[in-house]
Amino acid sequence: MEQLRLSPSRMNDFTNCPQLYKYRAIDLLPEPPSIEAERGKLIHSVLEDIFELPAPDRTLTTAIDLLPPAWAEQIEKTPELASLVLDEKEWIDRAHSLLSNYFALENPTTFESTYRELHLERDISDEIYLHGYVDRLDVAPTGEVRIVDYKSGKSPKPGWEEKAFFQLRVYALLYWKNHGVLPRMLKLIYLGDVKTIESQPTEAQLLSTEKKLADIGDEILSAIESNDFPTRKSKLCDWCFFKAICPAHVK
Query: Do the Cβ atoms of 184 and 146 come closer than 8 Å?
Result: yes
d(C-alpha 179, C-alpha 63), whole Å? 32
Binding mask 141-180 for ligand SF4 (x = CB under 6 A): ----------------------------------------
15: contact with ligand SF4 by CB under 6 A: no
Please name which of 141, 153, 199, 197 lies closest in space to residue 172, comparing C-alpha atoms.
199
Q: Which CB sits closer to ligand SF4, 6 or 17?
A: 17
Q: Which of 4, 11, 20, 164 binds ligand SF4 (CB under 6 A)?
A: 20
Terminal-residue alpha carbon distance, the chain: 34
d(CA 239, CA 251): 19
Q: Cβ of residue 28: shortest distance to ligand SF4, in angstroms?
A: 15
Residue 14 or 71: the one with the smaller Cβ distance to ligand SF4 is: 14
By C-beta, is 22 or 151 nearer to ligand SF4?
22
d(CA 79, CA 93): 20
Residues 221-240: x where in contact with ligand SF4 by CB under 6 A, - otherwise, as a string: ----------xxx--xx--x
Q: Pick from 4, 10, 11, 19: which binds ligand SF4 (CB under 6 A)?
A: 19
Distance of CA 64 to the CA centre of its chain: 23
User: Which residue, 72 or 245, is less far from ligand SF4 as judged by CB?
Assistant: 245
- Strand (E) or helix (H) holding 187: strand 185-190
In 51-140, where does DSSP find H-type helix? Answer: 60-77, 81-84, 88-105
Measure the CA–CA gap between 65 and 96, rounded to whole angstroms: 10
Cβ pair 164, 156 in contact under 8 A: yes
Q: Shortest approach of ligand SF4 to residue 34 CB, angstroms?
A: 14
Question: CA 206, CA 87: separation in Å to the nearest integer?
Answer: 44
With CB under 6 A as the contact rule, the residue among 11, 17, 147, 170 that binds ligand SF4 is 17
The contact set with ligand SF4 (CB under 6 A) reads 17, 19-20, 231-233, 236-237, 240, 242-243, 246, 248-249
